[in-house]
A = this chain, B = another copy of it.
């Protein structure tokens, strides 16, 4: 067979879709291998067990998300002359990106894994934690850069505001799904943008 595995990525695609619509344990290996057109041992060749599948899925998801966030906020920086406008523009781009997804955001693996932690081993839980911490770091750094130039209009900790951006995105995805309102997430991002604006812009 081919040297570079195309089936591995195919398995991950199918597994991710299943996990985000039914949860991890309801997504059976038999079902994955059937859809991927691969044998059972073909699956176990790539992933020692289901936990290894979870870890690979999560790692791939995080790499992809990071690249998207990098791109969006980099784009914000080029079109603005101060950190506040850059960040606000970045959030606008992110909102539009979410609005352009035809069926809404497919769901966040970090959220599903946080809600079924007992299923995974230490390494997956550590990876999930690291991901949330990296978002905290990303947004905290951006907000600190803003705070260096603009006075805070309320007594809140920068780090908590950074976490709130993540909260709104995760919560927005949940509500989008529960209500079947794909646009809700992008609207929520604009609301948190409104907060950042009010928090740093004197009226």
Query: Hey, which bits of chain A sit against chain B, CB under 8 A?
Result: 20-26, 107, 110-119, 128-129, 131-133, 153-157, 160-161, 163-164, 166-172, 174-175, 177-180, 184, 187-188, 190-192, 194-195, 197-199, 202-203
Contacts and interface: CB of A to CB of B under 8 A. Distances in A.
Q: Helix, strand, loop or mixed for chain A's interface?
A: helix
Q: Tell which of A23, A25, A198 has the most Cβ of chain B within 10 Å.
A: A23
A169 B175 CA distance: 11
A132 B191 contact: no
Contacts of A113: 178
Contacts of A187: 157, 160, 163
A180 B115 contact: no
B171 A133 contact: no
Contacts of A164: 168, 171, 188, 191-192
Contacts of A115: 20, 23, 107, 111-112, 115, 174, 177
Contacts of A188: 160, 163-164, 167
A161 to B, nearest CB: 6
